[in-house]
Homo-oligomer: A and B are copies of this chain.
Amino acid sequence: MLRLHKMDIDKPARKILNGHQSKVIWFTGISGSGKSTIANALEKELHKKGIRTYLLDGDNIRTGLNKDLGFSEADRIENIRRVGEVAKLMVDAGIVVLTAFISPFEADRRMARALFETDEFVEIFVDLPLAIAESRDPKGLYKKARNGELSNFTGIDSPYEAPKNPDFHILADKEELDAILSSLLAKIIF
């Protein structure tokens, strides 16, 4: 009896209230590839269209929910597991969730995808050659990794497993941001 009316407000009810589908737009790519830049710009465009959005990234996840986690391989796997689970709750809540994490391991991305319906998970591979990312190095992280001040750094002493079949494959050193946004907005269904 306690659970009798439990599921009345569910994802379909929230879709009707919001007037749009919810889903996760999962960005993956090495540090400095431009994931956050593209995700931020896309979020602004979606918000303008009246779509409820939220961006999960290191800034709001690593300082809160996952502040107990470090950067060992096990902790990085757990980091991505929790991001997937939070995204699932938010998609259930009616939100278009954008995630911007390196998420270098195929198995972890597959685990995240498995939490969602087929049309709810959009994987975007932001593909920038390591040499270019390292030469730009806006946060100085590659330099620190090369100096041994950071360990388990993707591309340096930890692998990046490129997606084999992403929904979108962005060549970040060749495409302009406006063109990337236009393409994403034209093809992702909300």
Contact = CB atoms under 8 A, between A and B. Distances in A.
A122 interface: no
Interface string A73-101: 00000100010011011101111000000
B65 A17 contact: no
A47 interface: yes
Specify how many copies of this chain sit in the oligomer: 2
B5 A89 contact: no
A138 B85 contact: no
A131 interface: no
Interface in A1-57: 1-3, 5-6, 8-9, 13-14, 17-18, 32, 34, 36-37, 40-41, 43-44, 47, 50, 52-56
A54 B92 contact: yes
